[in-house]
Amino acid sequence: MEFILHSAEETEEFGAILFKTLPEKSLVFLLGDLGAGKTTLVRGFMRKAGHKGTVKSPTYNIVEEYKINQRLFFHFDLYRLVDPEELEWIGIDDYLQETSICFIEWPSNGEGYLAEPNIIISLEVIAEGRKITIEKMEESLKSKILLEKQ
């Protein structure tokens, strides 16, 4: 499943669609080079969830936590992780056991310490803007996204 997005605004709109379609407990891996739009997608999701503040990449903090309308959301950026074992030190299992939606950028840096994702989304910069490819997702969620995208 692929989508071409022509602007940062369209990338945020795709994040808003994810908010409408993902179950309240989901693990989402976000793949893509630096500047591909991973945090922009999360920003659109968080804004649709009702977050009014800044949504920034948690590159230095590793994780940003959001509690919005009694729901939990976590945004991880594992880019600066030196050793996947660091995830155990920050209590990754505790985060992943919560009824929450967890977005993880650079999941390959946490290999061996992360659960199997519910959805894998790749973002790629192309001449027209961004290409989003959904690599893994339940069929029922694909249908919901297609309906929302129309």
Please tell me the distance from the alpha carbon of residue 106 to that of residue 65, in angstroms, as a whole number: 17
pLDDT value for 82: 77
Does the pLDDT of residue 30 top 90, yes or no? Answer: yes
The answer to pTM > 0.75 is yes
Number of H helices, E strands in the chain: 5, 7
Q: Which has more pLDDT, 38 or 147? A: 38
CATH architecture of 2-149: 3-Layer(aba) Sandwich (3.40)
Domain-wise residue ranges, the chain: 2-149
Q: Which has more pLDDT, 149 or 129? A: 129
Please tell me the distance from the alpha carbon of residue 45 to that of residue 55, in angstroms, as a whole number: 10
* 74-112: pLDDT as tens digits: 999 998 887 888 888 888 888 888 899 999 999 998 888
